[in-house]
Amino acid sequence: MKTLTMTKFMILIGLSSVLAFGSNTFADNQDNQRPAKHRSGKMHKSLLQKLNLTDDQKAQMQTVRESYQSRLSSLRENSKNIRQQKKALDSTSSNYVAQMQSLNAQSAELNRQRADIRAQIKHEKSLILTNEQLAQLKTLKAERQARRSERRTKRKNRN
């Protein structure tokens, strides 16, 4: 009887250590993963590399990117401040809804400004590319969209 209890105890210790180490590994993995929105810059770079840009075009692209960088980083910082203000609000406060609506309006305005800047950047970059490069870029984007749709369909069918 005593050995049976000891065996159960050893199995329990073994399982709990596996669970403890496994959950730590899983948590570490989750922290190291970047959100999808951060990968878009890499995808954009790979698309531009496939277009075989000249050195002059690369320099012009870099200039366009740098010319808007300070404005975009300022907007990102303002958005971060608004998110922090939202988290700091007291939901039991009598003017909570009005404060949240005000912050939401500010956030929407920042998003609109960011979208306007991104559209301007896209327009300026498209002026740098030749007609052939624009056609190739359109084709590459369509192929990427098709692959994305295919992955979504596979994911839906899995569930």
Q: Which amino acid is at 134?
A: L
- Residue 78 CA, distance from chain mean position: 18
Q: Residues 114, 137: one domain?
A: no
For the entire predicted model, the pTM comes to 0.63
- Both structure tokens of 122: 């896209």
Which residue range(s) make up the domain with 77? 58-89+97-128
In a domain? residue 64: yes
- The Cα–Cα gap between 112 and 75 comes to 10
Place of tokens 């870029």: 137
Q: Which amino acid is at 64?
A: V
pLDDT in tens, 89-113: 998 989 999 999 999 999 999 999 9
Q: Quote the Cα angle for 76-100-31, to 5°.
A: 45
Buried b (16+ CB within 10 A) or exposed e, 71-87: eeeebeebbeebeeeee
- pLDDT of residue 84 exceeding 90, the answer is yes
Q: Residues 64, 117: one domain?
A: yes
In a domain? residue 12: no
pLDDT in tens, 120-140: 999 999 999 999 999 999 999
In a domain? residue 37: no
- The Cα–Cα gap between 92 and 97 comes to 10
